Amino acid sequence: MSSSGAAVVIGASMGGLLAARALHEAYGKVVIVDRDALPDSAAARRGVPQGRQLHVLLSRGREALEELFAGLTDELRLAGAPLVDLHSEVNWHNDGYLMRRAPSSLLALGLSRPLLEHAVRARVAALPGVEVRSGTEVVGLVTDSDRRRVTGVRTSAGIVEADLVVDAGGRACRTPVWLGELGYDRPAEERVRVGVTYVTRTYRRHPGLIGDLAGAITNAVPGSPRAGIVAAMEGDRFAIALSGMLGEEPPTDDAGMADFAGTLPLPEMAEIIRTAEPTSDAVAMRFPTSVRRRYERLRRFPDGYLVVADGLCSFNPIYGQGITVAALEALLLRRLVTTGTHDLARRFFRGASRLIDAPWSIAVGTDLRFAEVEGRRGPRVRFVNAYVHRVHLGATADPVLGAAFLRVLNLVDPPTRLLAPGTALRVLRGMFRRAVPTAPAAAAPLPARTSGPGLPS
């Protein structure tokens, strides 16, 4: 398909930048509009509050970005981002069981969100026909007289006409409101309240720290809704993230963070907090609810309009899926627009729904382990969560089980792959081994919960 026509993308965060990259191959002009004054360097900005939090680019996400931007991995490595084997260079304390490390092909990048976004934004802005308009807010849609087709956007600087408008405005995107104003139904929503608060701080990474590993992680479990992540990043630093669910809020002061870390079965984090030099202040962020909007189920939707990334599905950030899913959606969008735009919304929303199914199932199914999380728990949910716990037990000695879990977590394999006969046999064998769960790093008691803002059947 030859490049012609114009497209407008609302939002210059990762979802919008990736959508613009996809549209570049089918549209002669692509205008990205963002209300922020975009920085000229790898700096955090107001419109991306999660930008100061720990980020890791999952293996499948890195591969998808490489398909969209050849050589991006090497570019980010030159900027200091470490390329990490997620199986051999990270300690995984899943349900308190330490996974046996082994070499793998699961290569992720440890980096800050500003570095990644800056690199991608520079690549997109350099594409012929792409224009980035910062400091400009989109206030509404422009349509034809019968409101069946979107023909542009109204901005704080005037009207921008387009053959296709893509809303990449994130979790707070205005599309449901705009659809209502145009006489369309709003999409049905699936909401899972998780009440996550997470706190990130960076520390100097010196030789020998945590045995020269690149990271460590422990997950929240029923009865202990706390988790922690350690991840190497650019600038010879470690980022650590403390998180709590269901109103459990990590503190941001030095002593409070150390005490909180001491309640986790994550000795690597305790070592960093105790011995390493901080390079930033602690920054907290709250994420109340995971939301999936079912645009694929709408009977009517205007032509010339799409919604992508967090506007479609906003995942619990603890699982690190958002950027990877946005990149996979961009690959889908590129494939569709280069073969024709007829019935584009229906084709894209159905395809994106299939992409979202697996990560949504992983996140929601895991969150439903907690009795306080509202949602339907059919026999399949209960079985899978019990089964995955036994995967973690077996992975203490069997690296094949660890690899199988990590491939699903990184969205390389579907969750059903964990139930393959060969994997199930290894899980069964692992049930007869004795493994001692990792103890908390210190003897600090778990304070009373404070108040604060898988595979479903």
Q: Where are the alpha helices (DSSP H) in 322-420?
A: 322-337, 344-367, 379-394, 399-409
Residues 6+ apart with CB under 8 A from 395: 92, 94, 97, 99, 100, 401, 402, 405, 430
Closest CA to 282 of 242, 236, 247: 242
Q: Is residue 101 part of a domain?
A: no
The predicted structure's pLDDT at residue 4: 80
Distance CA 401, CA 12 (A): 39
The predicted structure's pLDDT at residue 437: 73
321-347: average pLDDT: 97
Q: What are the start-end ranges of the E strands in 135-183? A: 138-143, 150-155, 158-161, 164-167
Same domain for 387 and 321 = no
Percent of residues in the chain assigned helix, strand, coil, to nearest 5 = 35, 25, 40
Same domain for 208 and 164 = no
The predicted structure's pLDDT at residue 448: 38
Q: Is the model's pLDDT at 166 over the cut of 90?
A: yes
Q: In the chain, what percentage of residues exceed pLDDT 70?
A: 95
- Cα 298 → chain centroid: 25
Q: Is residue 86 part of a domain?
A: no
- Cα 146 → chain centroid: 38
Q: Is residue 412 part of a domain?
A: yes
Kindly report the CATH number assigned to the domain that includes residue 241.
3.30.9.30
Beta strands across the sheet bearing 226-233:
97-98, 90-94, 215-218, 226-233, 237-244, 188-204, 283-294, 313-314
Q: Is the model's pLDDT at 447 over the cut of 60?
A: no
Same domain for 137 and 159 = yes
Distance CA 39, CA 52 (A): 14
- Residues comprising the chain, all counted: 457
Give the count of alpha carbons within 13 A of 304, CB side only: 19
Same domain for 196 and 182 = no
Same domain for 164 and 130 = yes
Pick the last residue of a domain from 335, 362, 389. Answer: 362
Q: Is residue 420 part of a domain?
A: yes
230 DSSP 8-state letter = E
Same domain for 197 and 259 = yes
Residue 443 tokens, joined = 């003897």
Residue 364 tokens, joined = 């929601």
The predicted structure's pLDDT at residue 126: 98
Q: Rounded to the nearest 5°, which phi and psi values hold at 415?
A: -55, -30
Residues 6+ apart with CB under 8 A from 284: 197, 198, 199, 249, 250, 252
372-396: average pLDDT: 94
77-98: average pLDDT: 97
Same domain for 135 and 34 = yes
The predicted structure's pLDDT at residue 254: 92
SS3 label, residue 291: strand
Same domain for 183 and 142 = yes
C-beta separation of 58 from 367 below 8 A: no
Residues 6+ apart with CB under 8 A from 78: none
Q: In the chain, what percentage of residues exceed pLDDT 90?
A: 89
> Considering its fold, how many domains does the chain have in total?
3
Same domain for 124 and 22 = yes
Write the pLDDT tens digit of every residue in 210-268: 999 999 999 999 999 999 999 999 999 999 999 999 989 999 999 999 999 999 999 99
Same domain for 170 and 41 = yes
Q: Is residue 99 part of a domain?
A: no
Please give the mean pLDDT across all residues of the chain: 93
Residue 411 tokens, joined = 């969205």
Distance CA 209, CA 386 (A): 34
Residues 6+ apart with CB under 8 A from 237: 202, 203, 204, 205, 279
Residue 213 tokens, joined = 């590993």
The predicted structure's pLDDT at residue 442: 46
343 DSSP 8-state letter = T
Q: Rounded to the nearest 5°, which phi and psi values hold at 31?
A: -110, 125
For the chain, how far is it from start to end, CA to CA, in angstroms?
41
Write the pLDDT tens digit of every residue in 53-78: 999 889 999 999 999 999 999 999 99
Q: DSSP string spanning 190-241?
A: EEEEEEEEEEEEEEE--TTGGGG-SEEEE--BTTB-EEEEEEEETTTEEEEE
Same domain for 343 and 275 = no
Pick the last residue of a domain from 264, 288, 312. Answer: 288
Distance CA 131, CA 170 (A): 20
Q: Is the model's pLDDT at 274 over the cut of 80?
A: yes
How wide is the angle at C-alpha 198 spanned by C-alphas 359 and 37, nearest 5°?
85
307-311: average pLDDT: 97
Same domain for 299 and 265 = no
C-beta separation of 233 from 303 below 8 A: no
Distance CA 51, CA 40 (A): 15
Distance CA 33, CA 340 (A): 24
Q: Is residue 266 part of a domain?
A: yes
Residue 219 tokens, joined = 């997950």
In DSSP terms, 250 is beta-bridged to none
Distance CA 53, CA 200 (A): 5
Q: Is residue 178 part of a domain?
A: yes
Residue 249 tokens, joined = 């809020």
Give the domain extent around 417.
379-432
Q: Is residue 61 part of a domain?
A: no
Distance CA 98, CA 273 (A): 20
Q: Is the model's pLDDT at 455 over the cut of 60?
A: no
Residue 330 tokens, joined = 């961009």
Write the pLDDT tens digit of every residue in 418-445: 999 999 999 999 888 766 677 775 433 3
The predicted structure's pLDDT at residue 361: 95
134 DSSP 8-state letter = -
The predicted structure's pLDDT at residue 436: 67
Pick the last residue of a domain from 362, 388, 414. Answer: 362
SS3 label, residue 264: coil
Kindly report the CATH number assigned to the domain that includes residue 41.
3.50.50.60
